[in-house]
Chains A and B, each alone.
Chain A
Amino acid sequence: VREDEASHESQAAIALLAMFKVTGGDAARACLAILGLVGRGELTRLTWHRLGLLLENLGLAAEDVEVWDALVSSGLFSQSGTALVANSWIETRSLYDELAPSDVVDVKVETIANIFAPPEVEHHVVPATPRELAEAGARVRDWGMGLLEYAMAAGLPGFPVFWEREDGESKPFGTDIGSFAASDTLLLAVEGTRYGLAVPRLSQGRGKALARAWDQLLRCGVDKRDDWYDGAIALNAFDDDFVGSFAKEHGDRGACPTLDATAQRLYALALMTTYLPDVAPDLVAGSIRAIESAARCILRWQDDSGGWAIHRYEPESDWKMPIRDVSCRHAVEALLLLQSLGTHDEELSVEIDMALRRFGDLLLESAHHEEEQTFWYGDFVVEEAGPRRRATCLCAIVLGALAARLDDTRLADLQARATRHLLESWEPSPETVFTVEFRVPTWDGPALAMFTWEPPADALVILALMDYGYRGGVFTDPEVRTIYRAVEGILDTEAHGSWLDTEMARQGMFKAFPQNSVHNLRCLLAVLAWEARAVPDGLVAGALDALPRQRRAR
């Protein structure tokens, strides 16, 4: 390429090729990684010290002296004193966006060849068809059914939080059970019923397994009228979903209950009684009583601010736990489902609406607005970007239904604005998680150790977006592409109807995680509902037509 004709692409290609000629192997990969940082605007000035740290962080066996020399010879940096300065990171960014792969650490030598002979179709998006989505949903349902059958055959006292998966089989990881898993495992099998995904005609064994899980869930609730904990979930064992909530010295009280698992239990019991009562007709009446008790518990535990903490200690206690976006989402989601089913008495319904109104007011008061966007701080107080995005997403998931229930256009407007915030700078990746750090409740006050959850971010963002779309919200073509790119990532990471825990997988522990799987299942079903009902022949079809036709094999 003659220098006067050289485009940005060819300049970069020459530079990268020079790196490979000079260095090869790890050193070249290190150069690409550094170019990636420059391209993203994270690095404009490189010192020896920083180079060493970068190499260390990348885990590459490159020697810094070689990388340094290669970067100098690439022409992308100039030496200034003891540092290298990127010639123009803005220009380099355009090169990087065009040429470098998104994950530069794993880049292979072939990437360089691709620069000279790029594949015919790059970065194309495969629209997930309703059939693909429904089939994935059916696989998750079948996996869930298999877990229920396993639990029955093995006589498990509950459900483990994680499962080993080898050759398609599933075995419990560890001996502990979880309060959230009690609902989640059941939901894997039945959540699809909300979206018209039928539970197939049950064999006798499967029907029994489903009924057993339902019965177990029904039994793990506090049934003491007028008690502060009446209606709360009660796990009389170590709770692996909330490590630290069970203490041997308070063994007679079981694990200290959480609002989150209480709400999820309400949700699962409500689904069973509404959609699958024939599985165990004798459990229906008890379930309706348990649902109402759980709803009253959620109402009783509502914070004065209108939100929910993971636990509310009795009024005379000195301990107070802070409200959380995660707990609020579970509480509101369960209450909204209950209201939509309309299976309870009028007095309770009025009280639920009042609680929802208080939460709606909290959202209105605590919202932050910037131009066309609205967001909330993490747990309503933490300003950092990660917690902020998580809180906005979880609020957006319930905002549409909340606005409809309360007939409040201000809340509907918040949903639209929160959706804009979520779409802004969204880079889908099935490995991205929302980090949730919290203290678990114990009978001796909030736990001393900090606990972390990592729900899959893309699934939750899509869930929020689909609710907006389902209610008539409109996405641009690029936004539709981004949504489908995220859906593709979720479908690609499915493992025989399940999804692994992301953080454990990163650390070499490959465990299927029902909770992650429920998040992903709900997301896929929401996309299915959106495709099937909200935009049958308009935007989606048009956007899909514009997409490359070539499909990548999954």
Chain B
Amino acid sequence: MSLVNNILLSRQGEVIFANSSAYHVELRMAGREAETTTFLAALEPVDTARLLTISAPLGAGKTFFLNTVLGRFARGAPAFDERRNCQYFLATEFNVPNDDDDGAELDVANITSATPLSSLAAVYEEAFAGVAEPYVLIVEELDRKATLGQVLWSIAGGIHWLTLGCGRLLVLTGDSTIGHRRVQQLVEHVQTRSHIDLEPLDAGLLVAALEARILDKLIEPIASDLAEAERLAAARKAAELVVGDEFVRWAVLPKTASVEVATFRDALGALRQMSVLAPALEGDVRFDRELVRALRQDAIAPGGPAATLEQALVDDVKKRISASQVLSPMSVAQLADLAGAEATPRFRRRAVDALARLGLLTPLGVPFEEVDDRGALVSLAEPFVPSYRLLHRSLAEIVAEDG
């Protein structure tokens, strides 16, 4: 009988594959050494004002990274009380000073002349009242959930805040919005600055995380008398077997061209669902393609062009999986072509945007760079890739058709 088998994994699936902030499984940060060094260097107290930008896709672990590095810094700096020395603001909660949400009134090239900035900076400064330096101001959600106005004004206010005294660090976190040209123009006002691109989940990171959980939660409680090397080997083997099947691997780590879209949240969620169906076998772990049935999804687009595009995407993804081809980011024109439609603004709104909001397409472009036919800034920017949800539906359909 194997040390780790399907019975154990299935019984403890909610623990081993926990992806919820509600149930905590101990996680140590794997990798990210260079990023940690960059962040720690920025935290070191110096007189000059500093800016750090951190960009990563949603679900890539920004908050975890932030907390872990701040915790490490605080250990070596007993006077640093992170509850007081760090203050957090959300761009999405900002009331922009102008009537429009596009930040058009803000001259990013000359922000010192914008009068609302001093009042924005004062809001930030007030949060540190009565606290001794250093000050770490963290502005989060600089992403497509905010408006461009909120993004630009909250950053500009932060940059102005940097000029109010010494020992200050402004940390900006968000998605590809950080790469918006006007954001970059703003950022260039600060001379001492650094940037961290948090890489999304990859196979090595996922297997390492699964290995640690299997070791702690399954092997240690029943085989603590085994030699450490044996326990580690058993955990490693089980973790690799969990994602050994090609279909299971597709379901947790989508194969995409030129861009990584995998996240811990989705990968572990899929594994948790699949573990429920794992056959009760006592031998080695066997997570085979049949398990993706657990990920079955119904069509969800309400009708019209969105439903047509959804079906076309599913058909396309199924073809690619069957041919072991990667998923490619697609422009609106390519999506229209796939759906047999014309790439009109109406198609974009009623089909592409609708699917993105339904969680079937993941936008990869920089938000707010384009303006649509109604004059509104585009937050769901092309190109798009099929999301986990759409991928899971496709995988489950292939298995059902084969079976």
Chain A residues near B (Cβ < 8 Å):
25-26, 47-50, 52-53, 55-56, 61-65, 82, 162, 173-176, 238, 243-244, 318-320, 322, 379, 381-383, 439, 444-452, 454, 501, 503-504, 506-507, 509, 511
Which B residue's beta carbon lies closest to that of A444?
B75
A-B contact pairs, 13 of them (CB 8 A): A48-B374, A52-B353, A55-B357, A63-B302, A63-B304, A63-B306, A243-B25, A448-B72, A449-B67, A449-B68, A451-B24, A503-B21, A507-B20
Instruction: Tell me the bound Cα distance from A49 to B20 in angstroms.
Output: 29
Interface pair B147/A243, CB less than 8 Å apart: no
Interface pair A447/B71, CB less than 8 Å apart: yes
Interfacial chain B residues near A319, Cβ < 8 Å? 75, 78
Interface pair B71/A320, CB less than 8 Å apart: no
User: Could you say which of B132-140, B284-292, B376-384 contacts chain A?
Assistant: B376-384
B249: Cβ under 8 A from any A Cβ: no
Whole-angstrom distance between the Cβ of B275 and the nearest chain A Cβ: 13
The list of the 9 closest CB pairs from A to B, nearest first, reads: A503-B22, A448-B71, A504-B22, A450-B67, A48-B376, A243-B24, A445-B75, A175-B221, A507-B20
Interface pair B302/A26, CB less than 8 Å apart: yes
- Identify which of residues 60-112 in chain B touch chain A, using a CB-to-CB cut-off of 8 Å: 64, 67-68, 71-72, 74-75, 78, 81, 83-84, 101
Interface pair B67/A63, CB less than 8 Å apart: no
Whole-angstrom distance between the Cβ of A52 and the nearest chain B Cβ: 6
Interfacial chain B residues near A174, Cβ < 8 Å? 12, 15, 217
Interface pair B24/A173, CB less than 8 Å apart: no
- Identify which of residues 320-358 in chain B touch chain A, using a CB-to-CB cut-off of 8 Å: 349-350, 353-354, 357-358
Which A residue's beta carbon lies closest to that of B23?
A504
The A interface is mostly helix, strand or loop, or mixed, namely loop
Interfacial chain A residues near B354, Cβ < 8 Å? 63-64
Whole-angstrom distance between the Cβ of B367 and the nearest chain A Cβ: 9
Q: A381 and B217 in contact (CB under 8 A), knowing A49-B377, A504-B23?
A: no
Interface pair A49/B26, CB less than 8 Å apart: no
Interface pair B71/A64, CB less than 8 Å apart: no
Instruction: Tell me the bound Cα distance from A22 to B20 in angstroms.
Output: 39
With contacts defined as CB atoms under 8 Å apart, how many contacts are there between chain A and chain B in the complex? 113
Q: A61 and B380 in contact (CB under 8 A), knowing A175-B217, A448-B71, A503-B21?
A: no
Instruction: Tell me the bound Cα distance from A252 to B374 in angstroms.
Output: 67
B375: Cβ under 8 A from any A Cβ: yes
Interface pair A64/B353, CB less than 8 Å apart: yes
Instruction: Tell me the bound Cα distance from A209 to B354 in angstroms.
Output: 58
Which A residue's beta carbon lies closest to that of B351?
A63
Q: A450 and B15 in contact (CB under 8 A), knowing A61-B300, A509-B23?
A: no
B301: Cβ under 8 A from any A Cβ: yes
Interfacial chain B residues near A176, Cβ < 8 Å? 217
Best-surrounded residue of A49, A382, A501 (most CB of chain B within 10 A):
A49
Which A residue's beta carbon lies closest to that of B18?
A509
Whole-angstrom distance between the Cβ of A378 and the nearest chain B Cβ: 8
Q: Which of A175, A448, A507 contacts B12 (CB 8 A)?
A: A175
Whole-angstrom distance between the Cβ of B379 and the nearest chain A Cβ: 5
B216: Cβ under 8 A from any A Cβ: yes
Interface pair A63/B21, CB less than 8 Å apart: no
Interface pair B78/A53, CB less than 8 Å apart: no
| Extra A-B contacts (5), CB below 8 Å, given A64-B349, A450-B67, A507-B20 | A49-B101, A82-B374, A244-B26, A319-B75, A501-B22
B237: Cβ under 8 A from any A Cβ: no
Interfacial chain B residues near A381, Cβ < 8 Å? 81, 83-84
Whole-angstrom distance between the Cβ of A15 and the nearest chain B Cβ: 23
Interfacial chain B residues near A82, Cβ < 8 Å? 374-376
Interface pair A507/B22, CB less than 8 Å apart: yes
Q: Which of B14, B147, B221 contacts A50 (CB 8 A)?
A: B147
Interface pair A450/B83, CB less than 8 Å apart: no
Whole-angstrom distance between the Cβ of A352 and the nearest chain B Cβ: 28
Chain B residues near A (Cβ < 8 Å):
12, 14-15, 20-29, 64, 67-68, 71-72, 74-75, 78, 81, 83-84, 101, 127, 144-145, 147, 216-217, 220-221, 300-302, 304, 306, 349-350, 353-354, 357-358, 372, 374-377, 379-380
Whole-angstrom distance between the Cβ of A178 and the nearest chain B Cβ: 11
Interface pair B24/A448, CB less than 8 Å apart: no
Interface pair B22/A53, CB less than 8 Å apart: no
Interfacial chain A residues near B306, Cβ < 8 Å? 63
Whole-angstrom distance between the Cβ of A491 and the nearest chain B Cβ: 23
Whole-angstrom distance between the Cβ of A204 and the nearest chain B Cβ: 31
Best-surrounded residue of A48, A379, A448 (most CB of chain B within 10 A):
A448
Interfacial chain B residues near A175, Cβ < 8 Å? 12, 217, 221
Q: A446 and B81 in contact (CB under 8 A), knowing A52-B357, A82-B374, A509-B14?
A: no
Interface pair A446/B349, CB less than 8 Å apart: no
Interfacial chain A residues near B358, Cβ < 8 Å? 61
Interface pair B217/A379, CB less than 8 Å apart: no
Which B residue's beta carbon lies closest to that of A447?
B71
Whole-angstrom distance between the Cβ of B376 and the nearest chain A Cβ: 4
Instruction: Tell me the bound Cα distance from A447 to B70 in angstroms.
Output: 11
Instruction: Tell me the bound Cα distance from A450 to B372 in angstroms.
Output: 41
Whole-angstrom distance between the Cβ of A246 and the nearest chain B Cβ: 9
Interfacial chain B residues near A382, Cβ < 8 Å? 83
Instruction: Tell me the bound Cα distance from A451 to B68 in angstroms.
Output: 11
Instruction: Tell me the bound Cα distance from A445 to B76 in angstroms.
Output: 9
Interface pair B12/A56, CB less than 8 Å apart: no
Instruction: Tell me the bound Cα distance from A174 to B25 in angstroms.
Output: 11
Instruction: Tell me the bound Cα distance from A231 to B273 in angstroms.
Output: 44
Q: Which of B24, B84, B377 contacts A452 (CB 8 A)?
A: B24
Whole-angstrom distance between the Cβ of B308 and the nearest chain A Cβ: 14
Which B residue's beta carbon lies closest to that of A80?
B99
Best-surrounded residue of A447, A449, A452 (most CB of chain B within 10 A):
A449
Interfacial chain B residues near A506, Cβ < 8 Å? 22
Interface pair A446/B75, CB less than 8 Å apart: yes
Whole-angstrom distance between the Cβ of B19 and the nearest chain A Cβ: 9
Interface pair B71/A449, CB less than 8 Å apart: yes
Interfacial chain A residues near B83, Cβ < 8 Å? 322, 379, 381-382
Interfacial chain A residues near B81, Cβ < 8 Å? 322, 381
Which B residue's beta carbon lies closest to that of A242?
B24
Instruction: Tell me the bound Cα distance from A320 to B24 in angstroms.
Output: 24
Interfacial chain B residues near A439, Cβ < 8 Å? 71
Interface pair A52/B23, CB less than 8 Å apart: no
Which A residue's beta carbon lies closest to that of B14?
A509
Interfacial chain B residues near A26, Cβ < 8 Å? 302
Q: Which of B28, B29, B376 contacts A49 (CB 8 A)?
A: B376
Best-surrounded residue of B64, B374, B375, B376 (most CB of chain A within 10 A):
B376
Interface pair A52/B379, CB less than 8 Å apart: yes
Which B residue's beta carbon lies closest to that of A448?
B71
Instruction: Tell me the bound Cα distance from A53 to B28 in angstroms.
Output: 33
Whole-angstrom distance between the Cβ of A342 and the nearest chain B Cβ: 38
